[in-house]
Amino acid sequence: MTFTRTGIGGVGTSNFGRAPEQRIEALAWQAAEEALDDAGVEPREVDMAFVGSVFGAPGLANRVLAGVGLAGVPAFSIEAACASGTVALHEAHEAVRCGRAKTAIAIGVEQLSTQFTGPIVPEPTDPEGRSGLAMPALYALQASRYLQLHAVDPDLLAHVAVKNKSNGALNPRSHLGDRPPTFDEVLDSRPIAGPLTLLQCCPMSDGAAAAVITQHADDGHDVEILTSQRSSGALWTSPSEEPWGFSTVRATAERAFEAAGLTVDDVDVLEVHDAFTIGEVLTLEAIGLAAPGHGAELAPSGHTALGGRQPVNPSGGLLSRGHPLGATGLAQTAELVWQLRGAAGDRQVADARIALLETMGGGAAGVDANACVIALLRGPNR
């Protein structure tokens, strides 16, 4: 079978924040229209559409597509927890790569402000849900174990929040775009689930993002998808020595680097899943950017800051840009496309050529994450 090189021809996003007065479809329309315009693609040229959302109503994909002139295009609704948008990207990429489509669009959207008044609680029929363990509590358990196992100073986690919220202050579409907090303000913010404080947790956001996938063109605009790897978590039980989701992210990263013929040292800029500060730390260890127990040193050392060796989450990440679940992976994608084009403004990473995208979706008891997608992107010659 002959495979086609794929590229991201266009990206778009809404602004991120709380927009309960807006229809959820309208958020998606903003992102999809911007992506189509950016790609120079007419709706009639799109062959397939993949729409990711976790809490969207039935039929959401068709209402989204109808609003941007894509009614009648084969539509696929995708739910993979926080990785829903990234799985939509992966499937659009695979459709073009395998010749099922010449042009596909991936759209992710979520409106959490109309769904929740507090933190998201896992499925109530699962043990975590029955125990009342909301997502902050689950991540707090990971953080507590990590800090104890590796004898890490808890204060180091606050550096991740300071870094990402400082980046987010440079992002005009960010949910939390105001003055970034100081290190002490992060530590002194309201306790949520020890050791995590309020400013170490992502906000509940609304928003949408989209990407148009086409056959790769060396035109100075198109960003090539070198590889996209998707995994589902294997069975995960209490005897496991690794935190929840860790082995799934690690295995996905290993496949991605092998498929692209690259190593983590080749990566210039990363967007990773940082719904909570410990999430970024564990992800960077899982992909090999730091040895176990040393991921918490990356932010305070400056390695992952803007101007550092490998900036992580220049968009502000989930901690600052926001985390509208279904849109998150495609918002990460948009940021990396802008970075690789040299179009990221004040948060531009110098000479960014290779980018890594990682999103992990959890939420189902008994498995090591619902889904994980890791993609490696290469920017146009410029």
Active site amino acids: 82, 323
Q: What are phi and psi of 287, to 5 degrees?
A: -90, -5
Residue 343 buriedness (CB in 10 A; 0-12 / 13-18 / 19+): exposed
SS3 of the chain: the string is: CCCCCEEEEEEEECCCECCCCCCHHHHHHHHHHHHHHHHCCCHHHCCEEEEECCCCCCCHHHHHHHHCCCCCCCEEEECECECHHHHHHHHHHHHHHCCCCCEEEEEEEEEHHHCCCCCCCCCCCCHHHHCCCCHHHHHHHHHHHHHHHCCCCCCHHHHHHHHHHHHHCCCCCCCCCCCCCCHHHHHHCCEEECCEEHHHECCCCEEEEEEEEEECCCCCCCEEEEEEEEECCCECCCCCCCCCCHHHHHHHHHHHHHHHCCCHHHCCEEECCCCEHHHHHHHHHHCCCCCCCCHHHHHHHCCCCCCCCCCECCCCHHHHCCCCHHHHHHHHHHHHHHHHHCCCHHHCCCCCCEEEEEEEECCCCCECCCEEEEEEEECCCC
Q: Which residues pair with 196 in a beta bridge?
A: 193
